[in-house]
Amino acid sequence: MQADEFKSHLSTSRWIVILSIVAIVLLTINLTDSPAPPNQTIVQSNSPYSATLPFRRDDSEYIGSDSCLDCHAAEHKSWHASYHRSMTQLMSPETVQAAFDGQTHEFQGERFTMHRRGEEYWTTIESIQAAAISPEGRDPQALHMRMGMVTGSHHMQVFWLPGMKGNLQIGFPFAWLIEDQRWAPRNSLFIRDPHTVLSKENWNMNCIRCHTTGPQPRPNQAAQRFESRIADLGISCEACHGPAKRHVDRQQRLAKLPEPERQTTLDAEPLAVVQPTDLDHVHSSQVCGSCHGMKWFDKSEEWTAHGFRYRPGDDLNKTTPIIRPTQLEKQPWLKPVLKKNPSIFNDFFWPDGHIRVTGREYNGLLESPCYQRGEMSCVSCHSMHESDPDDQLARGMRGNQACLQCHD
C-alpha cells in the first residue's frame, strides 16, 4: 500500500472531463475487434481494442495456468471453479452476469446506457444537459465505448473503461449486484464518509496488485501511458505456488529420461515450485497474506516496473511488510509512512489496531493467539482445491471440528 491507494491518478469532478478527451481518440480508431475467448488468454495484438487490455508477460519466470493442466487436471479443475480464478476476466457472454440490455442510469450529469453488440459489451455516455436541449433528445457528442474487463463473479461485478493512455483502465461508475440482479452506483456500495471527495479508480495501479497473477503496472511517465503486464488474469496457480517455468522445464526434461534414472533424478532435484501446505504456519500464511493483508510497499522497490519481489515461500516481511498498528514499536519504518498518510489507521483499522476492512484477513490472523502462540495458518481451515468455492472452507471445517483439531 502507498499513497496511490488513497488518491487516484485521475481526479476530476465530472466524468465528461476525462471521457471527452477519450472521445478525440475514439474518433480516429475502431474498438470493435472480436472478443477473446473466455478465460482467458490475453492475446498479443496490434489491434486498437487489444491494445487497451493488459499484456501477457514474456519473461523467464511465469508460464501461465494453462501449462499446469496436462499434469494437474484435478487441481486445475477445482481452481477453475473458484472465485479466485474469476476475480478478473475479459468480458464475454460466459463471464458477464450483468444486464447489458439498454438500461440507462445517471451519474454526475451524465447518462450511461449499457448495451451489447453481438458478443461485445458497450456503454453510451451522454451529457444530460446536452441531450435536454437537443431536438432528438440525445447528446450529439455522445461517447460510445467498448468495455473490456470485469472484476468479480461472486457477489457483484464491477467493470472497466479503456482510458486510452496505453492500457489504462478506469472504473465504470456502476456495478452489478448479482444476488439482487440490478445495477447500483459503485460509490454507494462501500461505507465511507459521505463528504469524501471521490476520485477515479485506476485499475493499473490498484486492483492489478492482487486481482491478477504476476502483475507489472509499468506506468510510462515520459509517454504518459500505461504498459501493464500480467502472467494471468485472476488469481491463478503461480500466485500460490510461485512462478512455474523452471518447474515445467524440469518436468519436460526429466520425462525424457529412462527409468530408473528418471525417478532417481526426480527424487533428487527440487520441484522448483512451492506447496503452501508443506510450509510452516508463518510462511504458509504469508502466501495468502501477500494479498489478504494490509501491506506496505515503497516506490524504491520499483514494483511498478518489475512487479513484487515476494515469491511464495519467501519471508513477506523482507519485501512488503504488513502494517500492524499493534506493533508500532517494532515497525519504525511506519512512522514516515504515517506522516505522509495520516489517515491510514482511521481508514483501515479499528481504534484497538485490529483490521476493519474486508479482504485483509491475514491482519486478523497475525493478531490471534492461535497464530502467535500456536501454529494456526490460513490452510488450517481453508483449502483452495478441496472446498466449496463459496467460502473455501476445507472438508470438515464448517462445524466444531475447525476448532477441535487443536482444542480437543
Q: What is the pTM of this model?
A: 0.86
What the block records as the C-alpha cell of 379 is: 490452510
What the block records as the C-alpha cell of 325 is: 498498528
Average pLDDT of span 380-398: 94
Amino acid, single-letter form, for residue 113: T
Name the burial class of residue 267, with classes exposed (0-12), middle (13-18) and buried (19+) by CB atoms within 10 angstroms of its CB: exposed
pLDDT in tens, 48-79: 889 999 999 988 899 999 999 999 999 999 99
CB hemisphere CA count around 392 (13 angstroms):
16
What is Dmax (Cα atoms) for the chain? 83
pLDDT in tens, 223-279: 999 999 999 999 999 999 999 999 999 999 998 999 889 888 888 888 899 999 999
What φ, ψ does residue 265 adopt, rounded to 5°? -70, -40
What b/e string do you get for 216-249 counting C-beta neighbours within 10 Å, with b at 16 or more? Answer: bbbbeeeeebbbbbbbbbbbbbbbbbbbbbbbbe
Q: What torsion, rounded to 10 degrees, do the Cα atoms 253, 256, 261, 262 define?
A: 60
Sign of the C-alpha dihedral computed for residues 338, 213, 233 and 20 taken in this order:
positive
Q: How far apart are CA 185 and CA 171, in angstroms?
A: 11
Domain parsing of the chain, residue ranges: 3-102+146-238, 243-273, 279-404
Instruction: Give the helix ranges, DSSP H, for 216-297.
Output: 237-241, 245-254, 261-268, 281-289
SS3 of residue 248 by DSSP: helix
Q: How far apart are CA 368 and CA 362, in angstroms?
A: 10
Q: How far apart are CA 242 and CA 2, in angstroms?
A: 24
Q: How far apart are CA 295 and CA 291, in angstroms?
A: 8
SS3 of residue 174 by DSSP: strand
Q: How confident is the model at residue 23 (pLDDT cuts 50, 70, 90)?
A: very low
pLDDT in tens, 120-139: 999 999 999 999 999 999 99
Q: How confident is the model at residue 341 (pLDDT cuts 50, 70, 90)?
A: confident
